[in-house]
């Protein structure tokens, strides 16, 4: 088990943003989280990544209880995330943004790669150049991060997260603001990252139809509660999900 979130509750004064949500994420899974605006998706992400301390509940990452610990502790345990609005260093070159991620992870280039933990790192994550090639930003390496397009900044933020060599990658609406073609390309990249890097990927998205075609399991949140957890086929036919969120039209296009 990579991450085990148990009865996670987050309150802001009298508002219950996340209401006793439990979820487990196993190695190699590609899981989607969907729900209407205000369902608690991002707050749940903040809680399971250490950005927001839960009011109650437990967070166990790779067997260690990290409840109430800071995000740096989660990162040290192999958890990385992106945000709804890409967080990049706009004045730094694209390649330097990736290099920062490598340094943040405490990795150093080794003259002899067989020494130490670098021997277990996939070749594609060993330096900034390889990571940029993986996410398709090699040609933008020397440009300031603020000068590339918003869609490229989303890719760059994913690259910065990958530079920390995560075991679990949390993606918060990485398709927001993208064109239909860009959304499709993003979805295929996410699937490829999971397959090639053996990552566990958890993906929040409003582009529900795209997400349902690519993930293997879907968690549905509504008003802070988890109302469904199953395969895309099971979820789109769940009466509570249809009533609360998806609508009957979702049954017309079956996820692959």
pLDDT at 101: 86
By mean pLDDT, which of 15-19, 33-37, 116-120, 244-248 is the weakest? 116-120
Residue 78 in this model has a pLDDT that exceeds 80: yes
Domains for the chain: give ranges and CATH numbers.
1-78+166-256 (3.40.50.300), 88-165 (no CATH)
CB burial class (10 A; 0-12, 13-18, 19+) of residue 14? exposed
Which comes out higher in pLDDT, residue 118 or 2? 2
pLDDT at 246: 64
- pLDDT (tens digit per residue) in 155-173: 999 999 999 999 999 999 9
- pLDDT (tens digit per residue) in 90-133: 999 999 999 998 887 655 444 444 444 566 778 888 899 999 99
pLDDT at 110: 47
By mean pLDDT, which of 10-19, 81-90, 191-200, 203-212 is the weakest? 203-212
The answer to whether 114 and 57 are in contact (CB under 8 A) is: no
Residue 23 in this model has a pLDDT that exceeds 90: yes
What percentage of the chain has pLDDT greater than the value 90?
73
pLDDT at 248: 45
Half-sphere exposure of 96 (CA within 13 A, CB side): 10
Q: How far is CA 5 from CA 44, 71, 222, in A?
A: 10, 15, 17
Residue 187 in this model has a pLDDT that exceeds 80: yes
């Amino acid at each position: 088990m990579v991450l085990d979130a148990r009865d996670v509750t987050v309150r802001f004064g009298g508002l219950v943003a996340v209401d006793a949500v439990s979820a487990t994420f196993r190695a190699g899974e590609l899981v989607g989280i969907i729900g209407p605006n205000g369902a608690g998706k991002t707050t749940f992400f903040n809680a399971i990544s250490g950005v927001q301390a839960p009011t109650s509940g437990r967070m166990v990452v790779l067997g260690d209880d990290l409840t109430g610990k800071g995000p740096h502790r989660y990162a040290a345990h192999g958890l990385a995330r992106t945000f709804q609005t890409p967080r990049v260093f706009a004045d730094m070159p694209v390649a330097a943004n990736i290099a920062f991620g490598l340094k943040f992870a405490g990795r150093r280039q080794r003259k002899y790669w067989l020494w130490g933990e670098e021997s277990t790192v996939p070749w594609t994550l060993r330096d900034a150049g390889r990571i940029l090639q993986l996410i398709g930003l090699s040609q933008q390496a020397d440009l300031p991060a603020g000068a590339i397009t918003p869609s490229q900044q989303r890719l760059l933020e994913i690259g910065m997260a990958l530079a920390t060599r995560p075991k679990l990658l949390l993606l918060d609406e990485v398709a927001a603001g993208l064109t239909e073609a860009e959304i499709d390309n993003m979805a295929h990249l996410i699937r490829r990252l999971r397959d090639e890097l053996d990552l566990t990927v958890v993906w929040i998205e409003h582009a529900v139809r795209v997400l349902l075609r690519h993930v293997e399991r879907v968690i549905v949140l509504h008003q802070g509660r988890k109302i469904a957890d199953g395969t895309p086929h099971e979820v789109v036919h769940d009466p509570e999900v249809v009533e609360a969120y998806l609508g009957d039209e979702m049954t017309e296009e079956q996820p692959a």
